Structure 1
Amino acid sequence: MSECPLHAPVSIPADGTPVRPSPELARWRAQGPAVPLRYRDGHEGLLITRYEEARAVLSDPRFSQQPQRMPDSHAALVERVPPGEVDEEIAEAARLSNILGCDGAAHLRLRRAITKRFSARSARSYIERVEEIVEAAFGGLLESGSPANLTRVYAEPISAQVHAFVLGIPEHLVERFTDVYVRGAPLQVQHDLLREAIAHRREHPGEDVITDLLASDLSAAEVLGMMHTLSMSGRDTVAYFIVTAMVALLSDRSQLEALAADPDRIPAAIEEIVRYGTMFLTVFPRTALDEVELGDRIIPAGTTVSVSAVSANRDERRWGSSADRLDVHRDAQGHLAFGDGAHMCVGQQVARVELAVALRRLITGLPTLRLVEAEQLTPQPLAHPVATYEAGSLVVGW
């Protein structure tokens, strides 16, 4: 048994794309389950590249979200805002409701307040509304004419509007919510909008996340902070997967034709699509609380450990020799595109519904759809605070 290899630390490779990840990842997997990684702040940790070890880290409570070594986390961003640019409640909200940076009972308390609206049962109940949103976006796509930017006209509106619906953003605020959280706005403006939405739901409760938060034991600051975290999380993920799915399918017509011939297979194929086009080159970093044995390695206490979901989902040991190929008939259950363990993506069931409805409408409604240009076919700057791929612009014709 040995400690992890001591060769020079690596940096997250930026020469890959969602459908063709950097070959460095495969090379590192061949060397072992972990490689030394240099983080953006200069300290060194480990990058887990293989599937079994990645899943073990994500599900092991000895790997903690604290200390949160993410310079661009919400809490860190608020701390860096010059005095007077945000009010005191926003700073308190960021400190008290940091669900992405806590563990154990604190994490469970925050997560428990929102899980009902993201369950598989709830997600199925949203199908009718999701179909309405998708149909409106599809109409907008047709109106825009060929060629069209699928990202801007179709993927982003669907993602933002379904997100607003599930959260409980009142109808009269949805357009502003989209502007503020998709196009960006100062932190004070973002939180002020959420305050309006929360005040509305306090007077007009519904079947939504805001209503559930208000009925929980969370304080007013915690409700505001949780809403901000949820508003920033997941929305861009769905848009990313719609775009990446279509880039992959339009680049491999045999897979597109298989789904066009059997549209009822699309929900099952979503698992393979998100495995193949995984967004997270690394998920949120953990810190080993104790000395941990991982395979034939010993990870010392205090070590920062990041899991590469992209690499794990391409691991030949789990997915076979065709791991780098999209196969819509593959059983891809168990992938790590939505993480694993206690911090697994809370919105994954809703995302599955959105993706299935959005992709089915495109595949069945535009049989002559073709790829004109896609930014993500060439390496793009990685998104932060964790290393993730961006959707980029996707221009299609028909």
Structure 2
Amino acid sequence: MNEHVQPASSAPLFNPLAPEFIRNPYPHYERMRTTDPVHLTPLGMYVASRHAEVSLVMRDKRFGKDYVERTIRRYGPKIMDEPVFRSMSHWMLQQDPPDHTRLRGLVVKAFTARRVEDMRPRIQQVVDDTLDRIIPQGKMDLIEDFAFRLPVTIICDMLGIPEDHREAFYTGSRDGGRLLDPVPLSPEEIKQGNASNALAAMYFQQLFDLRRKSPGNDLITQLVQAEEDGSKLTNEELTANIILLFGAGHETTVNLIGNGLLSLHRNPDQLALLKARPELITNAIEEFLRYDSSVQLTGRVALEDIDDLGGKRIPKGESVLCLLGSANHDPAVYPDNPERLDITRPNVKPLSFGGGIHFCLGAQLARIEAEIAISTLLRRIPDLRLDDAVNAEWRPTFVLRGLKRLPASW
């Protein structure tokens, strides 16, 4: 990798794993938007940083995922022999129609607005149980003890993971994020990825058997039945997409809750306002999504030559990385100081859930989980203080932006 290390004087515009970039990517984004909005990186990918190009690329049919081709192009012809890449190639997130349409069609019913609204009481109960257990201690890590437990519990409910299996998921590692970063994985990281993929696959195979024998009212039962139909779903697709749903179903929501709480405590005026006017929570969640998105980037591949994207020609087969976090701070869309947190900001429509056919399935679920988690915490522990709001410790991944820990006391 060292051939791409440049002296500080000509620091690269886009260096997403650099510590200062992870700590605060937003000044770097502003530099990109103003100097080179569709930037060609040393790794050969284009990076779109303005709202206009980002929304276009996500919605335009001339762009797709083309995962296998794109990955072979980056790692060489043998890469699809690696189990972790083979598994990811079956994720609906990495698929183009018609496979994408078929896979998404099998799970979309579990995430309808109606279904998700009906989960409110259960979400509230999980948050209250967590706080009942933790309030007497007078301190906690807001990530591990609070933000993490809720989405893991809810996705376990939805998938039909039995209660007595869940402890492993609560204490499980949160280091899968590297797989998504736009910087190639080292052989060592691929080996780790293969190992955790194998563990997950082994566990879910056992769970599929259990649900074939004793069906439940859950997503895994539903998908196992689709798999038996043969035409709808192969076993490899079933396993890969359950792994995707499990990861996507908690990682990003943990970060939304954590990033939201950090931004409130870094902006005490906004924290005071939300405590005084709890009904602002729905708009506040949209502003948290905009202000510091849990997912910073999504990618597409040009399926044909594109003559003009922000002044650049994109040849067929080239990748365009869409910087969601940057688009969310574009002054062309948010003229009233996009760098400020404002929970009363009108017309917030963050791109944090992506767009087009890959728009996040769990968007509404994530919003409701964050809304209930944050408003209940503020109501039940009004005097909560962060130990250190200034020097927050970020996880060393870029695409999934989130905190390692966030200690607090009251």
Q: TM-score, normalised by structure 1?
A: 0.84
AA partner of residue 157 (structure 1): R
AA partner of residue 197 (structure 1): L
Distance 2:135 2:207 in 1: 32
Task: Give, in angstroms, the shift of residue 17 of structure 1.
Answer: 5.1
AA partner of residue 125 (structure 1): D
**Quick one: structure 1 residues 363 and 230, their matched pair in 2 at CA, closer, same or farther if it must change by over 3 Å?**
same
Aligned residues: 371
Which residue in the other structure is 2:181 paired with? Answer: none
Task: Give, in angstroms, the shift of residue 80 of structure 1.
Answer: 3.1
2:143 is equivalent to residue 151 of structure 1:
yes
2:132 is equivalent to residue 139 of structure 1:
yes
AA partner of residue 394 (structure 1): L
AA partner of residue 407 (structure 2): V
Q: 1:220 aligns with which of 222, 235, 238?
A: 235
Which residue in the other structure is 1:341 paired with? Answer: 356
Which residue in the other structure is 2:6 paired with? Answer: none
Distance 1:126 1:171 in 2: 17
**Quick one: structure 1 residues 295 and 34, their matched pair in 2 at CA, closer, same or farther if it must change by over 3 Å?**
closer
Matched residue SS, 1:373: coil
Q: 1:11 aligns with which of 14, 22, 30?
A: 14
Distance 1:271 1:103 in 2: 28
Task: Give, in angstroms, the shift of residue 140 of structure 1.
Answer: 2.8
Task: Give, in angstroms, the shift of residue 181 of structure 1.
Answer: 6.0
Alignment RMSD (CA, Å): 2.8
AA partner of residue 174 (structure 1): R
Distance 1:152 1:206 in 2: 29
Moved more, 107-116 or 331-340: 331-340
Q: TM-score, normalised by structure 2?
A: 0.82
Q: How does 1:292-371 map to 2 (within 5 A)?
A: 292=306, 293-371=308-386
AA partner of residue 246 (structure 2): S
Distance 1:235 1:204 in 2: 26
The gaps in structure 2 that reach 5 residues or longer are 1-9, 177-194, 227-231
Distance 1:257 1:350 in 2: 26
8 Å CA contact 1:168–1:209 kept in 2: the answer is: yes
Task: Give, in angstroms, the shift of residue 178 of structure 1.
Answer: 3.2
8 Å CA contact 2:388–2:407 kept in 1: the answer is: yes
Moved more, 177-186 or 271-280: 177-186
8 Å CA contact 1:272–1:331 kept in 2: the answer is: no
Matched residue SS, 1:339: coil
8 Å CA contact 2:259–2:294 kept in 1: the answer is: no
8 Å CA contact 2:14–2:28 kept in 1: the answer is: no
Moved more, 191-200 or 46-55: 191-200
Distance 1:268 1:25 in 2: 24
Which residue in the other structure is 2:403 paired with? Answer: 391
Q: 2:39 aligns with which of 15, 30, 35?
A: 35
8 Å CA contact 2:51–2:333 kept in 1: the answer is: yes
The gaps in structure 1 that reach 5 residues or longer are 1-6, 82-89
2:128 is equivalent to residue 174 of structure 1:
no
Q: How does 1:67-146 map to 2 (within 5 A)?
A: 67-68=67-68, 69=70, 79-80=81-82, 94=87, 97-143=90-136, 145-146=137-138
8 Å CA contact 2:392–2:406 kept in 1: the answer is: no
Task: Give, in angstroms, the shift of residue 166 of structure 1.
Answer: 1.8
Identity %: 28
**Quick one: structure 1 residues 304 and 138, their matched pair in 2 at CA, closer, same or farther if it must change by over 3 Å?**
same
AA partner of residue 262 (structure 2): V
Matched residue SS, 1:47: strand
Distance 1:348 1:242 in 2: 14
Which residue in the other structure is 1:65 paired with? Answer: 65
**Quick one: structure 1 residues 211 and 376, their matched pair in 2 at CA, closer, same or farther if it must change by over 3 Å?**
farther
Distance 1:80 1:198 in 2: 23
